[in-house]
């Protein structure tokens, strides 16, 4: 085997590895239709309830790691990078638990209204458990989520629940 042939083989192996790695990353990303196309298919909010719209932007380093949405201490659904889930709850005060219950966010759900929550991955020095959650203003959130994938709100891997 010549040196030139060895370099070509190495390039081919690197290319194969890159393609396989890319395929693995995209396989773990959210599937479903874009939120902007799905929004018209989501049922109207009941008068006594409000709607949580929860999303995560795509992050190639953490796209395969799900985060569970907990509302008032109960698991509702898991969320992956590049995804949006929707969950209707009664109007009034609620607690969003995250980082295995070590962190919480108090929200007040308006009747017939919406609260947008963004989940994001952070370092342990910012939040123990590597997850941050913020309430996002509706105009910004609608822009953020238009291209994300709307997925069914459910727990896909019950072993994720550590309570």
C-alpha 52/C-alpha 71 separation (Å) is 10
Q: Tens of pLDDT along the chain (163 residues)? A: 555 556 666 656 565 554 544 444 444 445 679 999 999 999 999 999 999 999 999 887 766 778 899 999 999 999 999 999 999 999 999 999 988 788 999 999 999 999 999 999 887 776 667 889 999 999 999 999 999 999 999 998 887 676 5
C-alpha 157/C-alpha 163 separation (Å) is 14
Query: Looking at residue 157, what is its pLDDT?
Result: 80
Indicate the DSSP class of residue 101.
T
Tokens 């638990």 belong to 97
Cα–Cα distances in angstroms (integers) from residue 158 to residues 68, 75, 78, in the given order: 10, 10, 10
Tokens 């902007």 belong to 36
Cα–Cα distances in angstroms (integers) from residue 28 to residues 25, 80, 88, 160, in the given order: 5, 8, 26, 16
Residue of 47, 104, 48 lying closest to 72 (CA atoms): 104
The pair of three-digit structure tokens given for residue 107, joined into one six-digit string: 């929200």
How would DSSP label each residue in 128-162?
Answer: TTSEEEEEE-HHHHHHHHTTSEE---S-S-GGG--
């Amino acid at each position: 085997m010549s040196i030139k042939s060895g370099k070509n083989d190495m390039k081919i192996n690197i290319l194969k590895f890159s393609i396989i790695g890319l395929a693995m990353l995209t396989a773990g990303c959210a599937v479903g239709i874009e939120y902007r196309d799905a929004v018209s298919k989501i049922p109207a909010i009941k008068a006594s309830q409000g709607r949580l719209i929860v999303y995560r932007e795509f992050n190639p380093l953490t796209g395969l790691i799900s985060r569970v949405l907990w509302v008032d201490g109960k698991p509702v659904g898991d969320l992956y990078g590049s995804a949006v889930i929707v969950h209707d709850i009664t109007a009034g005060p609620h607690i969003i638990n995250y980082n295995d219950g070590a962190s919480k966010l108090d929200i007040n759900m308006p009747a017939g209204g919406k609260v947008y929550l963004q989940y994001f991955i952070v370092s342990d020095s910012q939040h123990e458990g590597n997850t941050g959650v913020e309430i996002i203003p509706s105009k910004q959130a609608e822009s953020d989520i238009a291209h994300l994938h709307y997925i069914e709100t459910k727990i896909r891997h019950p072993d994720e629940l550590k309570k």
